[in-house]
Amino acid sequence: MKILLIILGAIIIYSVVTYLMQRKIVKALTEEEFRAGYRKAQLIDVREPDEFAAGHILGARNIPLTQLRMRMKEIRNDQPIYLYCQNGLRSGRAAQMLYRKGYRNLYHLKGGFKKWTGKVKKKA
């Protein structure tokens, strides 16, 4: 029982530290803020290809979180990076990965694609 409590405590501490770190390295934007800046930035959808095909923000590139390490060279370091996923969790993880590799100017859509009300493109 004592070990279980220690493990649970460690998980909670890890979650809090991760959350605080994400808030420091990536700025969560409302849809209005996101919309105001994403055309002057690299817009990256970190969802899986099937999710992207079902609908994505117009102008977005699909670099799934699962492929990000291998495809990081496709992302420029000298321009703002606007990330989004379905609900905001994967884009936060993507921002952490990019930050560790020296990328700054990271933003993500608060609430993710499911909260997006702007233009959407679907693959036929």
- Average pLDDT, stretch 16-36? 83
Instruction: Flag whether pLDDT at 1 surpasses 80.
Output: yes
| Residue 73 placed within a domain | yes
Q: What is the pLDDT of residues 37-51, one digit of tens each?
A: 999 999 999 999 999
Banded model confidence at residue 122, pLDDT cuts 50, 70, 90: confident
Q: Is the pLDDT of residue 124 over 80?
A: no
* CB contact at 8 A, 116 and 88: no
Q: Residue 56: inside a domain, yes or no?
A: yes
pLDDT tens for residues 81-95? 999 999 988 999 999
Of 15-19, 41-45, 51-55, 114-118, give the lowest mean pLDDT range.
Answer: 15-19
**Domain assignment of residue 2, yes or no:** no
Task: Please pick, among 26, 75, 85, 94, the residue that the annotation labels catalytic.
Answer: 85
Is the pTM higher than 0.85? Answer: no
Query: Is residue 20 situated within a structural domain?
Result: no
CATH number for position 76: 3.40.250.10
Higher pLDDT residue, 14 or 96? 96
Q: Is residue 61 part of a domain?
A: yes
Q: Is residue 8 part of a domain?
A: no
Alpha-carbon torsion, ordered 52, 81, 109, 112, to 10 deg: 20
Judge whether 107 counts as a catalytic residue.
Answer: no
Query: Kind of pairing, strands 42-45 and 81-84?
Result: parallel
